[in-house]
Amino acid sequence: MSILHLKQKSEFTATRIPLPSSKSESNRVLVIDALTHGENQISNLAEARDTQTMIRLLKDNPPLFDVLDAGTTMRFLTAFATVTNQKKVMTGTPRMCERPIGILVDALRAIGSDIHYLGIEGYPPLAIHGLPEQTNEKIKIRGDVSSQYISAMLMIAPILPKGLELELEGKVGSRTYIEMTLELMAQFGIKYTWEGNKISIANQAYQPTTFAVESDWSGASYWFSLLACADAGALFLVGLKENSLQGDSKIVEIMDHLGIKSTFNSEGVLLQKQPLKGFKSWDFTHCPDLAQTVAVTCAILGQDAIFTGLESLRIKETDRIYALQQELAKFNADLKEMEPEVFKVIPSVTMPRKVQIHTYEDHRMAMAFMPLVTKTDIFIEDPEVVNKSYPSFWKHCGLLNISMETQS
């Protein structure tokens, strides 16, 4: 295992960061493009391994779809292969086969799909035998586990012979990702209604179009955090839109409380230091991928904040709540559960001379803890894990003249 040593640096000269493209947008438009037989002109697709895996599988169309560790790819391609009447085996890494998929499979079975598990019930690997006949056009699906199940069903809804009415049960998490899916579908000609907890999509055809993927707000969040924790500097993030489809654009509002002023222009957004306003609480239900970034930022800046809406973090690439608690403790901070699903960031009081971060095969653990470099030397285990979503991340750290050394 390699380890990346980043030497402490607390001030940054104004630098342009050429952000990667959005993995969330890319993965959705790839499925939509496949459902229109590739008749679209799509540009600026993400370099992320998840997206590149989807591109390869859709192009090569092997009988076994090995998605590696890509949860979105697993869920989206399960629905895609089913609705296009393909016979596929869906599998992935050992961790991927520990991540649940039962809610999506149950939904697909409810409309008539023929799917069975090859191992443990409710988990990959699984065998798909298509959709012989649509038997039901009205189904219910839990809204509080993963929005990716819902997005997967929505994207295939227009080509179902009877369309689909999806009733969301309970609390709806990551609502902004569902809204992104629907808005992207609308840009490819799909009409829908969302009234109360019911989303209705009639049988209709996607319309070929031209689409350019926006830069990635999830990836942007780490640079907001770095500057917030720094003593001085400014950054310009290229390719972001003020009115974005991506839920993680909420980082602008969050970081406004943590010392970052954001100014947009036609090329992106300028980040500048401003006085710390204080950060008390946030509900991450609709932007769970920001939780690690904000927790580390609060811990460094001395903000004892309340976090809610973290339920989905336990079924990500790792149990991210456990991982955060373990790694925050290394610089005398904590994420303490005060009551069920209510957590409090206990900030660091004293910073060690160096900190070594275990990444748990989770790209976001590596990137979320990078801003510690503003306070101490840090050692990131398995730095290549960032390839899942942001392969050029360490290269972009180099643009800021952060001294880095790889150790075996």
Any idea what DSSP says for residue 280? -
Instruction: Kindly list the structural domains of the chain, giving each domain's residue range(s) and its CATH number in brackets, ordered by start.
Output: 3-20+215-407 (3.65.10.10), 23-212 (3.65.10.10)
What mean pLDDT is predicted for residues 401-407?
95
| Whole-number pLDDT of residue 368 | 98
Q: Which residues contact 13 (CB under 8 A, 6 or more apart)?
A: 233, 234, 401
From the number of C-beta atoms within 10 Å of its C-beta (0-12, 13-18, 19+), residue 330 rates as middle
Q: How far apart are CA 169 and CA 163, in angstroms?
A: 19
User: Is the dihedral angle over the CA atoms 220, 223, 229, 233 positive or is it negative?
Assistant: negative
What sign does the dihedral 264-268-269-270 (CA atoms) show? negative
pLDDT at 286: 87
Is 315's pLDDT higher than 80? no
Nearest Cα residue to 36 out of 213, 211, 210, 205: 205
pLDDT of amino acid 89: 98
In three-state secondary structure terms, 102 is helix
Q: How far, in whole angstroms, is CA 208 from its chain's centroid?
A: 26
Round to whole Å and give the CA distance between 15 and 367.
18
pLDDT, one tens digit per residue, over 13-57 is 999 999 999 999 999 999 999 999 889 999 999 999 999 999 999
Q: How far apart are CA 284 and CA 132, in angstroms?
A: 39
Q: What is the pLDDT of residue 232?
A: 95
Element (H, E) at 87: strand 87-91
Please provide the average confidence, as pLDDT, over all residues in the chain: 95
Residue 177 buriedness (CB in 10 A; 0-12 / 13-18 / 19+): buried
Q: Is 248 a catalytic residue?
A: no
User: What is the rounded average pLDDT of the residues 109-113?
Assistant: 97
Backbone dihedral region for residue 324 (phi beyond 0: left; psi -120 to 50: alpha; all else: beta): alpha
pLDDT classification of 66: cutoffs 50, 70, 90: very high
Q: Tell me, what's the pLDDT at 312? A: 84
Q: Provide mean pLDDT across the span 296-315.
A: 93
pLDDT digits (tens, 9 = 90+) for 258-296: 999 999 999 999 999 999 999 999 999 989 999 999 999
pLDDT (0 to 100) of residue 2? 95
Between residues 123 and 311, which one has the greater pLDDT?
123
pLDDT given for residue 105 in this prediction: 97
Query: For 209-218, what is the mean pLDDT?
Result: 95
> Strand, helix or coil at 390?
coil
3-class DSSP state for residue 229?
helix
The single residue of 50, 66, 216, 289 carrying the catalytic annotation is 289
pLDDT of residue 171: 85
pLDDT given at position 314 = 85
To 5 degrees, how large is the angle CA 102–CA 107–CA 112?
Answer: 120
The reported pLDDT for the residue numbered 284 is: 95
Residue 408 has pLDDT above 90, yes or no: no
CB neighbour list of residue 177: distance below 8 Å, 6 or more residues apart: 24, 147, 148, 151, 247, 286
Query: What is the Cα–Cα distance from 47 to 26, expressed in whole angstroms?
Result: 9
pLDDT value for 144: 83
Write down the residue that tokens 């699984």 correspond to: 126
Over residues 188-206, mean pLDDT:
97
- The pLDDT tens digits for 141-192 are 998 888 999 999 999 999 999 999 999 998 888 888 999 999 999 999 999 9
Q: How far apart are CA 291 and CA 367, in angstroms?
A: 12
